[in-house]
Amino acid sequence: MLVGSRLLVGITYVDADGEVLGREQFCGRVVEVGEGVVVVDRPGEHGPAVLPADEEAYEPAPAGTYTLAGTGEVVVDPDWLTTWSVLMEPEDGQTLGTGPEP
């Protein structure tokens, strides 16, 4: 279902108090789904993104134009959307947990 499609991803990094530490948005092609993960080939030098494969966190994207906040990149008609909150430990930047955004 997702493999080969364009996925628009939004990730919000928060601390234990819920304070936003940073945000990331990108659009990439889904290259693999399996073993509980979705692998997205994201543009640039970051390498692939590995996201949880929670089916409820992926929804069809309404047709339209999306402007990414961090880069200003314009994405036209992606196939799917997903948004995630990532709980980070502020001292060392380690991920404490991941979940779909409500």
At residue 28, what are phi and psi to the nearest 5 degrees? -150, 170
Residue 96: what pLDDT?
53
Whether the CB-CB separation of 90 and 76 falls below 8 Å is answered with no
pLDDT value at residue 70: 86
- pLDDT string in tens for the chain (102-residue length): 899 999 999 999 998 888 998 999 999 999 999 989 999 998 887 789 999 999 999 999 999 999 998 889 999 999 999 999 999 875 655 555 555 555
CA–CA separation, 77 and 7 (whole Å): 10
- Using CA atoms, how far residue 37 sits from 3, 18, 40, 56, 92, in Å, is 12, 25, 10, 13, 24
pTM for the whole structure: 0.84
Nearest CA to 48 out of 63, 62, 38, 58 is that of 38
